[in-house]
Homo-oligomer: A and B are copies of this chain.
Amino acid sequence: METDKLTAEKIVAEALELLQECGIERMSMRQLARRLSIRAPTLYWYFPDKAAILRAVIKTLFERAVSTVPPTSTWQDWMRGFGAAIWQMNKEVPYTPLLLRSPDANNAEVFEFVMKRIDAKMKVFDVDMKRYARAHSDVQAFVLGWSVFAHSDIAPKVESLVDLDTAVLEGVDMIVRYWEDRLSDVPPPQDQGLPATARS
């Protein structure tokens, strides 16, 4: 490792593997440095603390998921693809809910990153991100919740009743259609955030 040039990307890649093996709570900067064959102070030069590494891990996972969404011609299809991509990621990375639940790790910096990334995607379709923020949050929350079941010991029991992939993908489609209907007759907001909506 010492012979390769150390980069933030390499550190994050190693952190991803270490997290799979030992979990968030047990991952330490010392351990990570040892696996990279570097001294801990070198690691701190790249990341001030463990939380900073966890933030970089979240951003990397999110970016990877977004990059797998194929090009689409509507925001609806993009959101379906986005839901499928984060479900795939959640299946592969069992600790995502713990990571997102972790204070310090999932903070304002991560939020801004994610919103900017989605905003850039939505701009292609000429839609107002503020109006679509809740649709996106619904998709993310729904997928995240199912991934909690998928990685618990009740997964086989749940799977005896429902096919997980079907449940998640059909659920994402339900959310997309709901917002498609709901947002089709809402005038664009006057830049004061989401329009106040009565319970329909």
Docked pose: A136 CA to B71 CA in angstroms: 33
Q: How far is the CB of A184 from chain B (nearest CB, A)?
A: 15
Choose among B101, B170, B173 the residue that contacts A152 (Cβ–Cβ < 8 A). B101
Choose among B97, B133, B146, B171 the residue that contacts A162 (Cβ–Cβ < 8 A). B133
Inside 8 A of A200's CB, which chain B residues have their CB? 170
Choose among B97, B140, B199 the residue that contacts A170 (Cβ–Cβ < 8 A). B199
Q: Who on chain B is nearest to A103 by CB?
A: B153
Q: Assess whether A151 is in contact with B193, with CB atoms less than 8 Å apart.
A: no
Q: How far is the CB of A135 from chain B (nearest CB, A)?
A: 10
Q: Which residues of A contact B (CB under 8 A)?
A: 25, 97-98, 100-108, 110-112, 130, 133-134, 137-138, 140-146, 148-149, 151-154, 156-158, 160-162, 166-167, 169-171, 173-175, 178, 193-194, 197, 199-200
